[in-house]
Structure 1
Amino acid sequence: MTARRTIPTIRHRTVDVDGVRVAYRESGPADGPVLLLLHGFPTASHQFARLMDALGDTPHRLIAPDYPGFGHTEAPTGFTYAFDRLADIVEGFTDALSLDRYALYVFDFGAPVGLRLAARRPDRVTGLIVQNGNAYEEGLSDTARAFTALRREVPGNEEQVRGLFTPQGTRFQYETGVADTSLVSPDHWTLDVHHLGLPGRADAQADLAFDYASNLTHYPAWQAWLRGARIPVLVVWGAGDPFFTPAGAKAYLRDAPDADVHIFEGAGHFALETHLPEIAPLIEDFLRDLRPSSPAGV
C-alpha cells in the first residue's frame, strides 16, 4: 500500500493581547519546536495555508498570527498603526502563548516585524527563514525607494498610497514578475481585497505605508543582530519582485555567510503562490536540520 502524506489539522484561534483580539492559525504538535510565520502586506496568515498543508508531517508547531489591521484580527478604536506597535503586539502574542523559543519565517512586512522581535528578544530565535523580506538598502527597487520617500503632507501622496489598496493594486502585487500567472490563485488577492475594504482598514494601511520608511533606520541594528546571532538562515526569493530585488537576498550573506540562498526565476513577490513545490522541501530540510536547543548567539 502506498504511504500517504500526513494532512495536518489546522486550528483557528484568537487570543487577547493588550486589547487586540489576535487571530491566528496553527498546526503541528503542541509540544513541538515552533516556527512563527509572519505574513506581509496586504495579506494575512491565510498566505501560509498551503505551506502549512505541505509541511503537514513536520514535528514543528506552525503558528501564524494576523497583525492588527490585517485578516481576522480586531484592534480597538484608537490603535496606533506603526511597525513598532505591530511588533509590540506580536511580542505580546508570543508571551500569551508562552513561546520562549522559535524559528522565524518573515515575508515582506513580516521582516520589519520579526526582525524587531529578534533584536528585542535575541535569546528566543533559533533560526531564520526569509522570503522576500528586505533588510538591506541594496534590496530596495526603484519602486520601493520612491515609495519610502513619500511623505503624507505632500499633496497627492495619500491618493498614490491608497491606490495599492484597490483590487487592481492588490492584484498587481501578486502577478507582477510572475512568468505564469495561471499559478496565482485569484482567491488570495480577492480575500485580501475583502479585508482591505473592512471599516477602518484603509486608514490603518495608509498609516503603515507612511511609517514604512522608519524600517530603513533599523537596518544596521538588524544586520548587527544577524552577525552576532550565528543562527541557521534560509533565504528564498522571487526574482521578479517589483519591490525587493534579488540583491536583497544575496545581501544576507554579508552578515550570515553560511546562509542557504535560493532565488527563483519566474516568481514574484508572493513566491509561495507559484513555487511552493520548490520552496517547501527547502523549508522541510531547514527545519529538520535546525537544532532548537541551540540558543541564538551561542
Structure 2
Amino acid sequence: MRRLIRIVGWLALTLVVLIVVVPVGFRGAAALRENLSPEEAAPAGALFATVDGLEIHYQVWGPQDGPPLLLFHGTASWSETYRDVAAPLGEQGFRVIAPDMPPFGYSQRPADQDYSRAAHAKRVLGFADALGLRHFSVGVHSYGGGGVIEAAFEAPARVDSLILLDVALGLGRTEAPTMPFAALLNLRWPRELLTASTFTNPLMVGPGLRSFIGNDDVVTAERIAIYARPLNVDGTTDAVGHWLFSGLFNDERKSLAANPANYRTFTPPVLVIWGRDDTTTPLQQGEEIAALFPHAELAVLDGVNHIPQVERPHDVVRLIANFLKRILPATR
C-alpha cells in the first residue's frame, strides 16, 4: 500500500512539474526566438506604410492601375497566407494589397496594446489613406471581420464592395465574452505562459491549422512554415497576450459591427463566401449575415471548413473575380 501511495505521489508530482515546466520552457523558447525587429524579420524588399505612427507591413500583387482590392487576414495570420488567391487575382488585373494587421505578421504593435474593433477600423482606413486609396473593395477573413466591417460602416462611401470570408462577428451576443481564468491571465506571467504555449508556439501551428481545415492534406509543411514565419518578431508573445483581452475577448457589443441596423443601411454590394462544414462559425451565421445586407449574395463551398482561401483558393478566386467584374463598372 505504501508503495502504491509513493507511486501515485510521484506521478502527481511529475504531472505538476510538467504543467509548470513545459509552459515555462515554451516561454523561454519564445524569448530566444523573438529577437528581431519587424523590419529585420520581414522578407527582403518588404513594403511598409506608416499608419498612425506604426509601420504596417504589406504585400502587393497585380498592376499598379488595377481596381484596388484590400485583403485583411484573421487570427494568427499575415499577408502571405492570402498568396494563393492574391496572386491569381492580380493576374486577372486587380491591384491586390494585403497588410499584416497588428499584433500579427511583420507590422509594428501599438504601444497602448489596443486591438479593439474601433482601433482595427482606424488602422484599416488609415492604411487606405497611407496608400492614397479614396475608393477600394475590401475582403476579410474570420476574426478580422469585426474591425473591417466597422471601418466599412464608418466610411461606406469609400467602399466599392465588401467580401466576407467566414467572418467571426458574434452577432446577437447578449453577454460580454468571458475568458477562462481571466483574473489569472490578466497577470503578465500566466498570460505569457499560455500564449507562448499556444498562439505563438510554432509546434501548435500545424495542429491549429488542421482544426480549421477540412482536408489535412492541405496543411503541408510549406503551409505550416508560412504561418510560423513571423513568430521571430520581437515582442510577439507579449503583444498576442494583450490581444487576447483587447481583441479576441473584448466586449464589442456596442461596436458598429455588432448592430444589425448598420447592416441594413449599408448599400455597397457584398459577397459572403462560407464553408459548408465550418466548425468555428457555422454556416447559419453566414446565412444570417448575408440576409442582413440589402445587396448581398452568399456562396457556399461544399467540403470546406473555416479557411476557404486556403482550402479552395481556385473557387475563391473565381467567386471574387466574377463578383468584382460584375459590380465594379457600376460602382466606380
TM-score range, shorter chain: 0.7 to 0.9
- The whole-number CA distance in structure 1 between the counterparts of 2:257 and 2:114 is 23
Return closer, same or farther for 1:231/1:267 CA change in 2, 3 Å cut-off.
same
Alignment of 1:146-295 (within 5 A): 148-150=177-179, 153-155=182-184, 158=191, 163-176=198-211, 178-211=213-246, 212=248, 213-218=250-255, 221=258, 223-256=260-293, 258-291=295-328, 294=331
Shift of 1:205: 1.2
Alpha-carbon contact 1:136-1:219 (below 8 Å) kept: no
Alignment partner, residue 133 of structure 1: 167
Q: Which amino acid aligns with 2:230?
A: H
Deviations 1:172-192 (A, max 9, x none): 332125342112333333333
Q: Which amino acid aligns with 2:135?
A: R
Shift of 1:262: 2.2
Matched, 1:89 2:89: no
Alignment partner, residue 33 of structure 1: 67
Q: Please identify the structure whose Cα radius of gyration is greater.
A: 2
Alignment of 1:49-88 (within 5 A): 49-75=83-109, 78-83=111-116, 84-88=118-122
Percent identical among aligned pairs is: 25
Shift of 1:250: 0.6
Alpha-carbon contact 2:72-2:79 (below 8 Å) kept: yes
SS in 2 for 1:291: helix
- The whole-number CA distance in structure 2 between the counterparts of 1:149 and 1:240 is 26
- The whole-number CA distance in structure 2 between the counterparts of 1:35 and 1:29 is 12
- The whole-number CA distance in structure 1 between the counterparts of 2:311 and 2:229 is 22
Question: Structure 1, unaligned stretches of length 5 or more?
Answer: 1-10
Q: Which amino acid aligns with 1:266?
A: G
Shift of 1:151: 6.0
Return closer, same or farther for 1:166/1:217 CA change in 2, 3 Å cut-off.
farther
Q: Which amino acid aligns with 1:149?
A: T
SS in 1 for 2:273: strand
Count, aligned residues: 279
SS in 2 for 1:23: strand
Alignment partner, residue 27 of structure 2: none
- The whole-number CA distance in structure 2 between the counterparts of 1:156 and 1:110 is 23
Alignment partner, residue 113 of structure 1: 147
- The whole-number CA distance in structure 1 between the counterparts of 2:277 and 2:206 is 15
- The whole-number CA distance in structure 1 between the counterparts of 2:263 and 2:253 is 16
More helix by share: 2
Q: Give the superposed CA RMSD.
A: 2.9
TM-score normalized with structure 2 length: 0.74
Of 185-194 and 91-100, more deviation after overlay is shown by 185-194
